[in-house]
Each structure stands twice: as C-alpha cells, then as structure tokens.
C-alpha cells in the first residue's frame, strides 16, 4: 500500500509561493558563475577569426600537433586499425573496467614484463583526463588538496573543484632553473601535517605548460623526498604521461627511480592515446595503479571500476580495441612507431629552431628538449600576450609566463614567434 503522512503531502498548487527569480535559478550555488569554455579556446577562436579575415596570424595557443600546412597531424596506421575492428565488437559496450587485453597491453607498454607489471592493476578511462579524475576522487578525500608544481595543466583545478577537492602548488623551479625538489619536499611535509593522505600530480616529460622534463638528477631528488615522507600517511604519486612519447629521454626512464618505493607509496599512471597516437577525440586512456600488496590492488581495482561505472559507465570500445592491436601486433606497433617518429621530427625541428632563436634573443625559459609547449617567463603575462597579439602572434598568458604551443606553430613561423616574444617583453623590461 502506498500512503502519505499529512506532513509529506504536497501543498495544493495554488498554495505554492511565487518567486520568479528562484524559479529561474536551477543551478546549485556551486555550479553558478562557472565559465563555459576554457580561456584558451576563446583565444584560439579570436586568432582563427582574424586569420579568416585575411590577416597574417600565428596561432600558438592550441595543444594539438599540426603539420606545417596547419592541418592536424595524424597517423594513418591508427585509422587502419580502427577500420579493422569487427563492427559487432567495436559497436558493443566495453566492459566497465575496460577490455582486459587493452589493460594488459597498457601495463606492458609502461613496464614491459618487469616486476612492476605484476604489481599493477588498471582501468580504462576517457583519455588521461579520466585517469586524473579517477585519481582525484579515489585517493583524496573531499576538501583535501592535490599537490602539483606551480605550472600545471588548468583542468587539474577544474577536476579538483568539480569534485570538491582543491589544488596546492609549490614553486616549480629553483633559482637555477632546475626542478625545485626542496620546495616539493617542504610542500609535501606541510600537506602531511594537514591532511590524512597526499596525491601528487606530476606531468613530465614535456610538462604542459613549461616544456620541462625532469632529468635523472631531478628524479633522484624527488625519490629521496618521497622516501623521506613515506610511511606516515598514504602517499600516491600520479604520473601524468600525456606527452611521454615526445620526450628526449626514453619513455620510461623515470621508472627506475620510483621502483624501489613501490609499497611505500602508491604509483599511479595516467596513460593516454591522445597524443601518442594523435587520436585526441577517441578518448582512449587508462589509469594504472601499482602497489606491492595484492589485497590493496584488489581494493583499488574495485574502487576504480566503481568510479568508472558512476562517471562514464564504460569507454570507447572501438578505440580501445584498435589501440590494443597497435600496442600488441608487432607489425602495427612498428608502423605506429615509424609514423610517430615522423610527428616527433616535425616537432623536434621546431623545438631546435626555437631554442636557437630564443637563446640568441636572450629569452628566459626552462630547459626545453621536446614537447608540445614551452613557457617564456615574463612579469606581465597579460601585457606581453596583448602586445604579441598586436603583432599577429597568439600565445597563452599565465601566472608569470606566456605559453607557446610549438605543436601548432609551423617551422617557418618560429622566428616570428621569437621576435614577437622579444617585442612583447621589451615593454616589460624597459
Ligand atoms: N595532462 C596534460 C598535461 C594535458 O595537457 C592533457 C591534454 O591536453 C591531458 C593530461 C589529457 O589529455 P587526454 O584526456 O586527451 O588524454
């Protein structure tokens, strides 16, 4: 029987209070006033509008690798692999945690057949972004802050804010332009006093936005700081490997520094096909978690699967199956490596041209050996970017620097970008 107490009966319609303002206020307070679009996309739109109107524009704002004719650089073998997926498999739902073969292939891609592979579990995610989301909601409590260097990818904050977490940073560079290990150690110590756990997000190699890649010395310092902090509260290190295939050092050169810490800390990797297969829209990614305890791994796998179900349910099956083949089939893998190398060369030539011109011009920027972006330091980022715009060159202003997307800058325009940077900075310096 369905019954209502008098208290829970809805009031008669005519008795409802009429408040037009409240009726048009559907968003909860947290959701009000949120920006619809990333500011970078607004800058891109402006640059595109001016270019379409016939102006000579260099658009160094967007984070996708374009060829020198301004077309998105793609890898044909990826489309072959997509086309070869049997329709009835590609069109079907994927398992919630992801295809087991895909997950095993991703773990192998990271750790080969080594000991870390045997200590890893994974779930499929929509790109690295999904992996970062799953990390934040599972390894930080609401109200807690993730820890990341002062130059970081803006959506870290969006994800944190969206899920009721926060972002805390430490100054990324020391006075010599190296990774600020002592600043990191101090910030982590501080967090461990305030929080019952820590989650560190580290985007290297080819950090977005700075272009900086941690070298062996940075890694040794970082590992030692982690060792010093471990053992008091749970610490998770999440490696955001979005650009890992574009770094100067081998893809997994950092692993040997962290391997001895497994068990003392939790290692997470946000793996993604977006950049490494030039498949930004396919949303193929994974979160890999590595821990020495089998029990802990089981709990983690369940929690991550639960988050998948409660967030996106399951991921792009077609993309996942195609990327599995590209990872596992030796012929396809070799072809993907060759095609990626072509994309890398495109970018590496721009990086070399930038380094030559920027060094000559005396620009101040972090060590830059490869990757989609570089930042040039300026005390007046907005002013520098505005003056560059006036010269037809679009870059992204951020705290204390402007970000230059060499990934979308044709080689022939690199000298013009450097000239515009010099001009944009001149007014600041003089
Ligand atoms: N991390 C960084 C630093 C990025 O720049 C990006 C994309 O631009 C991502 C993660 C995530 O990309 P995706 O979700 O496409 O893998």
- The per-residue pLDDT for range 263-309, each reduced to its tens digit, is 899 999 999 999 999 999 999 999 999 999 999 999 999 999 999 99
| pLDDT value of position 86 | 98
Alpha carbon nearest to ligand 1 atom 4, residue: 242
Where residue 9 falls among pLDDT bands split at 50, 70, 90?
low
The minimum-distance atom of ligand 1 relative to the CA of 208 is: 3
Distance 417 CA to ligand 1 centre (A): 24
From CA 38, how far away is CA 103, in angstroms rounded?
31
Q: Which protein residues touch ligand 1 with a CB less than 6 Å away?
A: 63, 127-129, 153, 203, 208, 240, 242, 272, 274, 280, 285
- Same domain? 324 vs 337: no
R_g over Cα of the chain: 24
Assign residue 212 the CATH number of its domain. 3.40.640.10
CA–centroid distance, 273 to ligand 1, in Å, is 10
Find the CATH number of the domain harbouring 403: 3.90.1150.10
Same domain as 247, residue 312: yes
Residue 11 has pLDDT above 90, yes or no: no
Q: What is the mean pLDDT of residues 399-419?
A: 96
> Does the structure show a pLDDT above 50 at 395?
yes
Tell me, in angstroms, the distance from the centre of ligand 1 to residue 426's CA: 33
Mean pLDDT of 34-52: 87
Pairing of strands 235-240, 198-203: parallel
Question: How many A from CA of 346 to the centre of ligand 1?
Answer: 20
Please give the helix or strand (H or E) that residue 268 lies within, else none: strand 266-272
Percentage of the chain surpassing pLDDT 90?
86
Q: What is the DSSP letter of 116?
A: H
Q: 313, 328, 343 — which closes off a domain? A: 328
d(CA 369, CA 350): 11
- Strands, E assignment, 359-422: 373-377, 393-394, 396-398, 401-405
Greater confidence (430 vs 223) lies with: 223
The rounded distance, in Å, linking the Cα atoms of 85 and 87 is 6
- Candidate of 40, 127, 244 to mutate for ligand 1, largest count of ligand atoms within 8 Å of Cβ: 127
> Do 384 and 414 share a domain, yes or no?
yes
Same domain, 152 and 217: yes
Residue with tokens 């972006």: 373
Residue finishing a domain among 307, 328, 349: 328
Tell me, yes or no, whether 32 lies in a domain.
Answer: no
Are 56 and 392 in contact by the 8 Å Cβ rule? The answer is: yes
Average pLDDT over residues 349-353: 97
Half-sphere exposure of 358 (CA within 13 A, CB side): 22
Q: Examine residue 46 and state whether it is found in any structural domain, yes or no.
A: yes
Across 394-404, average pLDDT: 95
Nearest residue (by CA) to ligand 1, atom 2, is: 242
Residue whose C-alpha is closest to residue 390's, from 70, 69, 39, 50: 50
Query: For a pocket test of ligand 1, which of 241, 246, 274, 406 has the largest count of ligand atoms closer than 8 A to its C-beta?
Result: 274
Question: Which residue's alpha carbon is nearest to atom 6 within ligand 1?
Answer: 242
Q: Comparing C-alpha atoms, which of 73, 199, 82, 188 is closest to residue 138?
A: 199
Q: Which domain holds residue 393?
A: 39-65+333-429
Q: CA-CA distance, 274 to 219, in Å (whole number)?
A: 25
Pairing status of strand 401-405 against strand 235-240 = unpaired
The reply to whether 196 and 315 lie within a common domain is: yes
What is the three-class DSSP state of 53?
coil
Q: What is the pLDDT of residues 196-218, one digit of tens each?
A: 999 999 999 999 999 999 999 99
Report d(CA 130, CA 287) in Å as an integer.
Answer: 8
**What is the distance between the alpha carbons of residues 65 and 45, in angstroms, rounded to a whole number?**
17
Residue appearing with tokens 């096909």: 273
Among 148, 155, 210, 279, which residue has the most ligand 1 atoms within 8 Å of its CB, making it the best to mutate? Answer: 155
Token pair belonging to 287: 């979160």
Decide if 7 is inside a domain: no
Residues 101, 154, single domain; the answer is yes
Same domain, 343 and 322: no
Q: What is the rounded distance in angstroms from the CA atom of residue 414 to the CA atom of residue 355?
A: 10
Count the Cβ atoms, other than its own, within 10 Å of residue 101: 14
Return the best residue to mutate from 242, 268, 374 for the ligand 1 pocket (most ligand atoms within 8 A of CB): 242
pLDDT of residue 14: 57
Taking only the tens place, the pLDDT of each residue in 54-63 is 999 999 998 9
Same domain, 57 and 114: no
pLDDT mean across residues, the chain: 93
Residue 285: inside a domain: yes
| Whether residues 237 and 153 fall in one domain | yes
Number of domains in the chain: 2
Residues 156 and 258 both lie in one domain: yes
My answer on whether 370 and 252 are in the same domain is no
Residue where one domain finishes, among candidates 328, 363, 393? 328
- The four Cα atoms 239, 244, 247, 251 give a dihedral, to 10 degrees, of 90
> Are 406 and 347 within 8 A, CB to CB?
yes
Those residues with Cβ within 8 angstroms of residue 183's Cβ, 6 or more apart along the chain or in another chain = 170, 171, 172, 174
Q: Which helix (H) or strand (E) holds 221?
A: helix 216-229
Task: Look at residue 20 and tell me if it is in a domain.
Answer: no
208 is a domain residue: yes
Cα separation of 32 and 25, whole Å? 9
Say yes or no: 273 and 350 in one domain: no
Q: Quick check: is 294 in a domain?
A: yes
Indicate whether 58 belongs to any domain.
Answer: yes
Residue 5 has pLDDT above 90, yes or no: no
């Amino acid at each position: 029987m369905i019954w209502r107490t008098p208290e829970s009966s809805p009031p008669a319609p005519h008795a409802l209070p009429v408040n037009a303002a409240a009726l048009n206020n559907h968003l909860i307070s947290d959701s009000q006033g949120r920006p619809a679009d990333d500011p970078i996309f607004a800058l891109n739109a402006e640059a595109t509008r001016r270019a379409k109107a016939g102006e000579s524009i260099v658009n160094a704002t967007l984070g996708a690798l374009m060829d020198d004719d301004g077309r998105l650089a793609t890898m044909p073998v990826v489309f072959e692999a997509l086309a070869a997926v049997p329709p009835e498999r590609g069109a079907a739902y994927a398992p919630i945690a992801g295809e087991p073969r895909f997950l095993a292939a991703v773990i192998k891609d990271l750790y080969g057949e080594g000991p870390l592979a045997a200590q890893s579990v994974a779930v499929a995610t929509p790109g690295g972004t999904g992996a970062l989301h799953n990390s934040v909601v599972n390894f930080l409590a609401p109200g807690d802050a993730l820890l990341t260097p002062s130059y970081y990818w803006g959506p870290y904050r969006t994800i944190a804010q969206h899920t009721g977490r926060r972002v805390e940073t430490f100054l990324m560079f020391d006075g010599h332009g190296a990774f600020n290990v002592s600043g990191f150690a101090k910030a982590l110590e501080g967090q461990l006093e305030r929080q019952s756990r820590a989650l560190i997000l580290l985007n290297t190699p080819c950090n977005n936005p700075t272009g900086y890649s941690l070298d062996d010395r940075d890694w040794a310092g970082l590992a030692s700081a982690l060792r010093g902090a471990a053992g008091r509260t749970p610490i998770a290190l999440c490696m955001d490997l979005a650009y890992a295939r574009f770094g100067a050092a081998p893809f997994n050169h950092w692993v040997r520094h962290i391997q001895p810490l497994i068990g003392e800390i939790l290692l997470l990797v946000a793996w993604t096909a977006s950049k490494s297969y030039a498949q930004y829209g396919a949303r193929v990614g994974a979160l890999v978690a590595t821990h020495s305890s089998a029990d802990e791994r089981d709990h983690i796998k369940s929690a991550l699967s639960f988050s998948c179900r409660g967030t996106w349910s399951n991921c792009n099956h077609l993309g996942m199956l195609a990327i599995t083949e590209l990872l596992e089939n030796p012929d396809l893998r070799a072809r993907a490596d060759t095609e990626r190398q072509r994309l890398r060369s495109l970018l590496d030539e721009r990086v070399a041209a930038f380094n030559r011109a920027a060094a000559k011009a005396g620009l101040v920027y972090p060590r830059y050996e490869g990757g989609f972006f570089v930042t040039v330091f300026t005390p007046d980022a907005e002013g520098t970017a505005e003056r560059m715009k006036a010269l037809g060159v679009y870059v992204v202003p951020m705290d204390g620097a402007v970000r230059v997307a060499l990934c979308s800058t044709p080689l022939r325009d690199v000298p013009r970008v450097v000239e515009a940077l010099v001009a944009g900075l001149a007014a600041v310096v003089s």
